[in-house]
Structure 1
Amino acid sequence: MVSSRSLLTVFATFIAVAASQKCYAVDGTALDSTYTPCNPSAKHSSCCASTDVCMSNGLCMGTTNESIGMIFSRGCTDSKGKDASCQQICPGVSDDSNGLKPVKAWQLQTCDSGEYCCRGADDTKSCCDNAKAPKVTTTFSATLQLQTPTATNPVAEVVATAVSTGTPFEATTTPTAHACAKEKRETAIVGGTIAGVFSMLIAGLSATVYWMYKREKRQRKLKEHYEEQFSQTNAYRKALASSAGSCRGSVLLDELKLKSSASE
């Protein structure tokens, strides 16, 4: 088991390293304590605002108010920005697209053409139609580095794919564990829906077959009833006709006998 002294030593070392890594803006000016290195244990690291989420490619994703989902290049711990960890997303450009002032941080705006353009982080004007604005044609793919609260835990990574969908720049995050759970839930929902629809179809089909069976049975009984009644009626008529014929014959015979007696 790790002793308390060892934990204090690790914690103190972590604090010392973090304190020694000061963040600098894109133009080299020192940033205040609201900007922190994304990888404090490294010699140099890209920096993001405390409210941002660090990305593995050195960029930052905004998470508050109007900046949510936007991608920024805030700077790094190398004041000259020469270290490989410092993101040079808009290389060779030090002024905003209007040429008015140096840029402390870049914001990547997604254009309808599928390209990205760089504008100052505090610039509210679109840079897509600005010929002076730096254009970036690289397709970004990175992971979101979620900082853990303790120095002993590694940086957690969540896969994210950049999507060109217009302004502001948006990224779709898919945490592995949550994605699996979500996929299972969606699969269960889809499976339940299909099972429900299938059950309804079976129930409807069964009801239709039963109704047709009952109808056919009723019609068959009616047919048998009417046929029986018809046969009985025909038999009665034949018997009546036969009875009437025999009666008529006896009447004629009686008439002949009377006529014979009279002639004598």
Structure 2
Amino acid sequence: MVSQLSFLSVFTIFTFLIAPTIAQQCYGLDGSTLDSSYAPCNPNAKHSGCCATKRTNGSPDICLDNGLCMATNNEQLGMIWQSGCTDKTGQDVACPKMCPDATTDFNGSNPVVAWQVQTCDYGRYCCRAAGDRRSCCGNSSAPEIITDSVGSLLLETTTADTTPSTNKLPHAAASAVSTGKPFEITAVPTGDSCKKERQKIAIVGGTVGGLFGLTVLALVSAIYWMHKRERRQRRLKEHYETQFSQTNAYRKALASTAVSMRTSTSLEEFRPKSSGVVQQ
């Protein structure tokens, strides 16, 4: 009897320890088994959404409180994903359900492994299948989401405060936050807002470009004017030197003529004058 009780106790403890481990297997939205880089966001729960938090060949994902994932790996930085759940059917309440009809793509036919939650406009999102490069925004058959928030980041706290808090971030890019508490990811203004921002950027860029063009034009004009003035001054100098040399030559000629005239006058003075008597 004692042996049976001991066996039952050991079996109960073994089952208690092993059962959570078995429940921690992650599955894609199509029911396929995900690799070991995926782990449950809440390992203590019976079922939980899964993210690639164990990725070793790149930056790991960050879990959101609703089971979605934020990618931090290279070109996918900041993207929101609905990757899967520990419930193979995906029907458990703990499984992420941001994207409706999570077992098909937005054409309603082929099963998908994961969804990417794409931002379309402020508070408006859509779902497209993983690996699909087409934008799902404006696609009437794509799953659409209207919400002010797509979730809160779940980061391990390193402070003495163990009470979770939720703080709104101004934009969906929350990768720079490192305080270790949940942060709400709010909608990012896009669409018309982005058009207005682009218009502002274009106006500023045009203004800066215009000022730069005027500056270059003024600089070129100044260089041309300086070159023209230098050339004019050089010509004036050459003309002055020519005139000066000609004047000096003229002065020398006058001086030489004057000397010759004075010499001739002096010789005339020393010549004997005639007496006026004519010899027979």
TM normalised by structure 2 equals 0.48
User: Which of 60, 66, 73 is equivalent to 2:75?
Assistant: 66
Q: Cα deviation per residue 1:200-233 (whole Å; 9 max; x = unaligned)?
A: xxxxxxxxxxxxxxxxxxxxxxxxxxxxxxxxxx
Q: Is the 8 A contact 1:44 1:83 kept in 2?
A: yes
Cα pair distance change 1:104/1:122, threshold 3 Å: same
1:177–1:116 distance in 2 versus 1, CA, 3 Å: closer
Alignment of 1:142 with 2:145, yes or no, is no
User: How many angstroms apart in 2 are the aligned matches of 1:156 and 1:61?
Assistant: 22
Q: Which residue of 2 aligns with 1:186?
A: none
Rounded Cα–Cα distance in structure 1 between residues aligned with 2:35 and 2:18: 17
Greater shift after overlay, 20-29 or 61-70? 20-29
The equivalent residue for 2:114 is 105
CA contact (8 A) 1:144 1:160 kept: no
Which of 31, 34, 48 lines up with 1:31 in the alignment?
Answer: 34
Change in Cα spacing, 1:141 to 1:112, as seen in structure 2 (3 Å) is: closer
- Residues 1:133 and 1:122: Cα distance change in structure 2 (over 3 Å): same
| 1:247-258 aligned within 5 A | none
CA separation of 1:96 and 1:170: change in aligned 2, threshold 3 A? farther
Q: 1:196 matched to which residue of 2?
A: none
Cα distance in 1, alignment partners of residues 163 and 81 from structure 2: 20
1:114-263 alignment runs, 5 A limit: 114-140=123-149, 142-147=151-156, 159=166, 161=168, 170-171=173-174, 174=177
Change (3 A) 1:163 1:96: farther
SS of residue matched to 1:17: helix
2: CA distance, partners of 1:96 / 1:148:
36
Q: What does residue 225 of structure 1 align with?
A: none
The aligned amino acid for 1:42 is: A
Check if 1:76 corresponds to 2:97.
no
Aligned counterpart, 2:275? none
Within 1, Cα distance between the matches of 2:17 and 2:92?
21
Q: CA deviation at 1:85?
A: 0.8
Identical-pair percentage: 47
How far has the Cα of 1:139 moved from its partner?
2.1
Q: In structure 2, do the counterparts of structure 1 residues 108 and 21 end up closer, same or farther at CA, with 3 Å as the change threshold?
A: same
Give CA deviations for 1:102-158 in whole Å, capped at 9, x if unaligned: 211111111136410000122111100211111000222533222589xxx999967
TM-score calculated relative to the size of structure 1: 0.51
SS in 1 for 2:85: coil
> 2:96 is matched by which residue type in structure 1?
Q
* Cα distance, 1:79–1:131 mapped onto 2, change above 3 Å: same
> Which residue number corresponds to residue 203 of structure 1?
none
8 Å contact kept, 1:161–1:171: no
**1:46 alignment partner, one of 28, 49, 55:** 49
Cα distance change, pair 177–70 in 1 and its aligned pair in 2 (3 A): closer
In structure 2, what residue type is equivalent to 1:86?
C
Indicate if the aligned counterparts of 1:95 and 1:102 stay in contact, CA closer than 8 A: yes
How many angstroms apart in 1 are the aligned matches of 2:124 and 2:20? Answer: 38
Aligned equivalent of 2:94: 85
